[in-house]
Amino acid sequence: MAKFVIECPHCGRFAEAKTGFFARKKIECSCGNVIDVRTDKISSRQCPHCGNTVVYDQSKGENALCPVCKEKLNTSADISRTAEFSCPQCGCSLNADKNANTYTCPVCDTEIDVQQRLHLAKISNEGIASVIKYEGDNNTFVWKHPVEDFNIGSQLIVHESQEAIFFRDGAALDLFPAGRYTLETQSIPLINKLYNSSLEPQGVFHSEVYFVNLTTQMGIKWGTDSKVRLFDPETGIPIELGASGEFNLRAVDSRKLVLKLVGTEGVLNRDALLSVGSANSGGASGHFRAMIMTRVKSHLASSIKENKINVLEVDEHLDELSNALRNKINAGLAEYGLTMPEFFITRVITPDDDPSFRRLKQQHAEKFLRVRDEEILKLEAEAALERKAVEARSAAQMKIIGAQGDAEATKITAHAGAEAYKLQAEAEAAEMRMKGYTYAQETARQVGLEAVQGGIMSGAGGGGGGSGLGDVVGLGVSLGAIGGVIGLTKDALSPIADTAAGIGQNVGAFVNQKAAAPELTWDCICGQKEIAGNFCSNCGAKKPEPPETWDCSCGQTGIAGNFCSNCGAKKPAKPEAWDCDCGEKGVAGNFCPNCGKKRGEEASKDEE
């Protein structure tokens, strides 16, 4: 029965085993793992001669050969080539092959980079100064540098978006902003204060460096794990809502963040904030998940209630609700050196299948339709009132137009009558001019005839019984009128008749004057009516001159303009006025209205 050394597949340590029929098939390693000799004796190793990773039988002992280079790979010298290092996660002491690349810690299941740990151990043991800088990704908030126990003289490099915290023997000392630093007692004043004379220039001490990423981590997703129960502020109907969105996070107090949240962990990334994980996966489970969910559900319901937001219109108030929740959450994050610069509610999940929610939507729709119907009725009532007002204004305008039309018709009728009278008078005047006598003479003739018929005849009949003076007057009037008509001379009449004729002519002239100048009244613009004089007794305005009109040959009369409105004929030019020898001035026609002389007769006689 031969003995051989077998490597534990769990911890990498070596244990003694035996070959033979009666040898133990299972042995226990010092780490507690039970090694199955029949299966675990087949192991893999990197050949120290050719560098290839090969599989060999450990039970062959030193006779085990590399299948590639045919060199022995399980000699005592090769077995003794193990190195000791500590686990970066739990800190336990471990042994592994110096040629191994990775090794899994049997305590915390952390996969360890063996070559890196050996290199760091070499730096620590040999006292070689190292460069310490951030080597994590941008999604990490806190990253612990794997190198510990720095030597005096090591270089610390901090980027612009970072801060570094230096730990000595577990105590957080100095905080380094962006820049390059040489770890000496002069650059670490707190170390110099605590250890005035115990440090030597090249002394080694247990130290750690944590890098804090100050950049804003964008787009971290969140969502409520259950529905938020609340009552609709308007209707009081109970409903349940869900919400989700994203937020941004940034570290503002590095020391507080490391001391209160990170502790001895090697890394803190964004996935550890809300995700559910385990310690064995390298991160804590959802540090702020419970806090964010509690505050979101609590303050989302209270904000909707306080602001009286209709649940069906909640999408219109997402900015308002997001800002309110951000302020509430930041109050809790400030204790851990973090802040939430932006918080977004991107979606509010409504319970569309809930009968209460369907009833709420139905009530809202009915309310909207009812309000809309009331608005339509109001608009229709306003339109009806407007139509009535328009009809009333139209009726009033029609009345005004009718009154104006009646007044205009009356005016036209009066004007037509005046024009007819004027035409008749002008025709009579033209006839008298053609016969050679004036209107005064014609009036005297008419008066004389009436006097002869009514006075003399009645007196001659003897039935009048009048006095002698009345008879003389009547006789004078009659004779005067007759004398004015038939042209009787004084020689043909008696002196009494001559005297009576004079009296008759005076009476005829008076009647002619009254007939030629009838008393006409006029109305002033100030409101005074029936004015007989030439000036208004109220305001003193002068009587307006009658408009000058003319008659067209087409039959249009009373034209005030320069052209006929019927045929367009131009107004005829006024004939040149002339003065008669009888004393009549400004005669416009061809015959003198006083003596009947023709225009130009007197001038022709003078020339002869």
Q: Which long-range contacts (CB under 8 A, 24 or more apart) does 175-184 make?
A: 175/254, 175/255, 180/155, 180/156, 181/155, 181/156, 181/157, 182/153, 182/154, 182/155, 182/156, 183/132, 183/150, 183/151, 183/152, 183/153, 183/154, 183/155, 183/156, 183/207, 184/152, 184/153
Q: Which residues are paired to 34 by β-bridges? A: 28
Q: What confidence category does residue 340 fall into, taking pLDDT thresholds of 50, 70 and 90?
A: very high
Q: What is the pLDDT of residue 148?
A: 74
Q: Are 535 and 542 in contact (CB under 8 A)?
A: yes
| CA angle centred on 502, ends 499 and 504, rounded to 5° | 110
pLDDT at 163 over 90: yes
Decide which of 356 and 223 is more confident: 223
pLDDT at 499 over 50: no
Decide which of 522 and 475 is more confident: 522
pLDDT at 480 over 70: no
Q: What is the pLDDT of residue 252?
A: 92
Q: What is the pLDDT of residue 347?
A: 87
Question: 566-586, pLDDT tens digit by residue?
Answer: 888 888 877 678 888 888 887
3-state secondary structure of 230: strand
Q: Are 300 and 309 in contact (CB under 8 A)?
A: no
pLDDT at 465 over 50: no
pLDDT at 378 over 80: yes
For residue 382, give the amino acid letter: E
Q: Report CA dihedral (555, 561, 565, 569) to the nearest 10 degrees.
A: 70
Decide which of 139 and 153 is more confident: 139
Q: What is the pLDDT of residue 410?
A: 80
Q: What is the spatial distance between Cα 263 and Cα 175, in angstroms, rounded to a whole number?
A: 16
CA distances from 474 to 262, 444, 488 (A): 152, 14, 18
Q: Percent of the chain beyond pLDDT 90?
A: 4
Most confident of 264-278, 398-412, 440-454: 398-412
Q: Are 243 and 224 in contact (CB under 8 A)?
A: yes
Decide which of 536 and 490 is more confident: 536
Q: What is the pLDDT of residue 479?
A: 45
Q: Are 481 and 508 in contact (CB under 8 A)?
A: yes
Q: Which among 518, 550, 520 has a CA at the least distance from the CA of 426?
A: 550
Q: What is the spatial distance between Cα 96 and Cα 75, in angstroms, rounded to a whole number?
A: 16
Q: Percent of the chain beyond pLDDT 70?
A: 75
| Kind of pairing between the strands at 238-251 and 338-349 | antiparallel
3-state secondary structure of 413: helix
Domain assignments of the chain as residue spans, ordered by start: 127-215, 217-351, 418-516, 575-608
Read off the pTM.
0.43
Q: What number of helices (H) and strands (E) belong to the chain?
A: 14, 22
Q: What is the pLDDT of residue 339?
A: 92
Q: Are 444 and 485 in contact (CB under 8 A)?
A: yes
Fold of 217-351: Tetrahydropterin Synthase; Chain A (3.30.479)
CA distances from 566 to 130, 218, 417, 551, 559 (A): 122, 93, 19, 11, 10
Q: Specify the DSSP class assigned to residue 544.
A: P
Q: What is the pLDDT of residue 459?
A: 47
Q: What confidence category does residue 515 fall into, taking pLDDT thresholds of 50, 70 and 90?
A: very low
Q: State both tokens at 194.
A: 């605590």
In this structure, what are the phi and psi dihedrals at residue 18, rounded to the nearest 5 degrees? -130, 155
Q: Which among 219, 322, 338, 348 has a CA at the least distance from the CA of 287?
A: 338
Decide which of 522 and 1 is more confident: 522
pLDDT at 246 over 60: yes
Question: 106-117, pLDDT tens digit by residue?
Answer: 877 888 887 777
3-state secondary structure of 262: helix
| CA angle centred on 472, ends 470 and 473, rounded to 5° | 65
